[in-house]
Structure 1
Amino acid sequence: MAEMTEADQIKTFKDFLVQYNKLSELCFNDCVHDFTARTLKPSEDKCTLNCMEKYLRTNQRVSQRFHEFQMLANENMLALAQKSGQGS
């Protein structure tokens, strides 16, 4: 397996930061409503944890389904190519 170039590593890190910031903003906006204290209320803390876990589980599930779809599509393309090769 080829090593990632520095440009690939930077792009991967930027993509990670975009996702992290998106998740942080989403959960913050959904869960934090009281700005009168310096610390999170227990309900806000629990909400942010639940939000993060749900987002990560959903993201993992979507990635898994995408991978399954790609494998099926590749198998179909291979079968079609073999069928076309036999018909010639």
Structure 2
Amino acid sequence: MAQPEMSEADQIKTFKDFLVQYNKLSELCFNDCIHDFTTRSLKPSEDKCTMNCMEKYLRTNQRVSQRFHEFQMLANENMLALAQKTGQS
């Protein structure tokens, strides 16, 4: 069974959501890690901090998404069980 194509409006919304997340991550890591504005290049410590910040944010976001999916599946199973129970009564 083929998955339906996303509408242009859905694609635009998805892209906007991506940009919001990207900008949030950029601002968060920049504010936490960049402190020296006397040079154009990053210091090694700033570079390492930004990489750690990004990786931690992405891992956390992935874990939250995974847990949300697990809870959603559990809720769906509970609703199905309830519907079957009430249908049999």
Shorter chain as denominator, the TM-score bin is over 0.9
5+ residue gaps, structure 1, are: none
Cα distance in 2 between the residues matched to 1:52 and 1:31: 11
Q: What's 2:54 paired with? A: 52
Superposed structure 1 runs of 4+ greater than 2 Å apart = none
1:24 equivalenced with 2:43 (yes/no): no
Cα distance in 1 between the residues matched to 2:78 and 2:10: 30
* Structure 1 residues 45-78: Cα deviation after superposition (integer angstroms, max 9, x where no partner): 0000000000000000000000000000000000
The offset of 1:39, in angstroms, is: 0.2
Cα distance in 2 between the residues matched to 1:27 and 1:82: 49
5+ residue gaps, structure 2, are: none
TM-score, structure 1 normalization: 0.96
* Structure 1 residues 4-37: Cα deviation after superposition (integer angstroms, max 9, x where no partner): 0000000000000000000000000000000001
Cα distance in 1 between the residues matched to 2:50 and 2:67: 26
Percent pairwise identity: 93
TM-score, structure 2 normalization: 0.95
Q: Report the count of equivalent residues.
A: 85
The offset of 1:43, in angstroms, is: 0.1
